[in-house]
A and B are shown apart, each in its own frame.
Chain A
Amino acid sequence: MTAVLDALQLAFVQRALLAGLMVGLLASYYGVFVVQRGLSFLGSGLAHSAFGGVALGILLGIQPLAVAVPFTIIVAMGIVWLQQRTRLGADTSVGIFFSVSMALGVIFLTMTPRYTTDAFTYLFGSILYVTWGDIAIMGFVMLMSIFTWKAWGRWAYATFDRELALSDTVACRRDDYLLSFALAASTVISIKVVGIALIAAFLVIPPATARLLTRTFSAMTILSMVFGVFSVLVGMVVSLQADIPTGPAIILTQAVIFFVIALARRGG
């Protein structure tokens, strides 16, 4: 009996660790662009769009993330497309898609008899519910990000001065799609751990903290990932110990680090 429990415990700890590590790294890596480009509304919008995908997955009885990832990516592409085709600001474009996906999600959920069980998990996150299927999807996004690491320099360049990057033959429009794609994928896989409601903070706080301490963008990126992983791991332990949802525990950990550093810097 105890042996079985131990094994379960182990597998669950493994999944939690893996998920926390990957999600922490990815969100804080793409988060630096979210912070520097002022895209936090996009992050939040994508998470809420993911809700539509999750609800569709639940309705169809398929693994929700497997539906939510492509669903959200399509929404992200739509947002960039609308923004590039019209003169609408990014926030308007996000707002339109965001509400449509949310509306769809609510309709899908009301069509599902047993929706209440899962809804809370996706709203505030729970590592208890991380499955190997989720891990596989996270691993896929992770691999994709490693293969596109060269885009970091182009994204950074266009973030700094888009006109200049364009004059240097950087394909900024294509890169915008790529960034939105990656951001959408990272946001969706984060909702299992952090929850839809708190994604924007999850994307923004580690890079913002890193920004306080660094003078170059590469240093900011590295430090952001350090804070990202650290806060996820601490938050998960706190969540288990105190029996509170994982998302709030992680966000509070991030916020504590942020404010300690912000105050220390003011003093120093």
Chain B
Amino acid sequence: MTDPVVDCHDASVTLGEFQALRDVTMALDPGSFLAVMGPNGAGKSTFMKALMGLVPLSGGSITVLGNRPGEHVRREIGYIPQIKTLDRNFPALPMELVLTGLRGTWPWRITASERETAHEAMKIAGVDHRIGVPIGKLSGGELQRVYLARAFVREPKIVLLDEPATGMDRRGEADMYSVLDKYRSKHGATVIMITHDWEAAHHHATQVLLLDRGMIGYGAPGDVLVEDNMRRAFGHVGHHHSMTIPISGDCGA
């Protein structure tokens, strides 16, 4: 039996006075595609940050690849944050941002082989045509693709994506899922994605974690995304009659 890549036992997080996450217990096998879902403010981003050790646990435990959060080897996790805290006024080219994915630090000089690698990653993410454009001048969707290239260039064992479809057009979104699926099957990597897109969760995820500060459900999409859980998470089931797709995909495109 393989060890789980992510193993949570009653993991809880308190931010200031506010309990953002309560008693999450789940184990994820390598090669899974986990969709983390739930209403705004449900603690999804907090959960992802806890996996990386960016916020401390107030209770319970988490292991990621056998280590405590934050003690992983840097290259094992590729992360795309939800709200870009980047300084758009910083003089940077997309390639430099992509290469932080390889180096874990800002590049002073770029070697020919690094240039090649970064270019390839940008091609896969579909932004290689914007290679010479300063970061500050990229559109939101283009920037998202650069972050995607950055996450993949290090060939991580776990890809963490916090609402990656935000700002992407339909084509970009489809491309992203095909890149993710290909990458996952080729490297046996684990994907953890926060999303509000129920259809995508059904199509691509092997596992769904439904959160509303506490854990509402965890398991296969068909088992978790059921009317009863929906009502507990969202308070209503939306306009759809279908039990498993109660809310249409909203990816903000």
A binds B: yes
A215 vs B90: C-alpha distance in the bound complex, in angstroms?
A: 9
A164 x B107 contact (CB < 8 A): no
CB of A170 within 8 A of CB of B93, answer no
Chain A contacts with B in 127-173, Cβ cutoff 8 A: 152-157, 159-164, 166-170
Once the chains are docked, how many angstroms separate the CA of A183 from the CA of B41? Answer: 39
A211 at the interface (CB under 8 A from B): yes
Interface of A is mostly: helix
How many Å lie between the Cα of A167 and that of B84 in the bound state?
13
Within 8 A of B (CB), among A215-230: 215-220
Chain A nearest Cβ from B93, distance in angstroms: 6
Asked if residues A164 and B104 are in contact (CB atoms below 8 Å), the reply is: no
The yes or no answer to B92 lying at the interface (CB within 8 A) is: yes
Q: Which of B62-84 contact A (CB under 8 A)?
A: 70, 72, 74, 77, 79, 81, 84
Q: Once the chains bind, are B85 and A159 in contact (CB under 8 Å)?
A: no
The prevalent SS among residues of B at the interface is loop
In the bound complex, do residue A218 and residue B87 qualify as a contact, i.e. CB atoms below 8 Å apart? Answer: no
Known: A218-B108, A218-B109. A36 touches B87 (CB 8 A): yes
Q: B1 at the A/B interface (Cβ < 8 Å)?
A: no
Question: A167 touching B54 by the CB < 8 A rule?
Answer: yes
Question: Chain B 94-136, CB within 8 Å of chain A: the 1/0 string?
Answer: 0011001001111111000000000000000000000000100
**Chain B residues, CB < 8 A from A152:** 106, 108
User: Contacting B100 at CB < 8 Å: which of A155, A157, A218?
Assistant: A157
Measured in the bound complex, the distance between the Cα atoms of B134 and A211 in whole Å is: 13
Complex formed: what's the CA distance from A32 to B107 in Å?
15
Which one of B85, B89, B91, B108 contacts A161 once the chains associate, using CB atoms below 8 Å?
A: B85
* In the complex, chain A residues whose CB is within 8 Å of the CB of B90: 36, 159-160, 217
Q: Which of A156, A170, A217, A218 contacts B104 (CB 8 A)?
A: A170
Residues of B within 8 A of A168 (CB): 74, 100, 104
> What are 14 of the A-B contact pairs (CB < 8 Å)?
A36-B89, A153-B108, A156-B106, A157-B105, A160-B92, A160-B97, A160-B106, A162-B85, A164-B100, A168-B100, A168-B104, A211-B91, A217-B92, A217-B96
List the 8 closest A-B pairs by CB distance, nearest first.
A156-B106, A153-B105, A161-B86, A157-B106, A163-B85, A153-B106, A160-B90, A167-B79
With A160-B87, A211-B91, A216-B96 already in contact, 15 other A-B pairs whose C-beta atoms are closer than 8 Å = A153-B103, A153-B105, A153-B106, A153-B107, A157-B100, A159-B87, A163-B81, A164-B81, A168-B74, A169-B70, A169-B72, A169-B74, A215-B93, A216-B93, A218-B108
Please list the residues of chain B having a beta carbon within 8 angstroms of any beta carbon in chain A: 52, 54, 70, 72, 74, 77, 79, 81, 84-87, 89-93, 96-97, 100, 103-109, 134
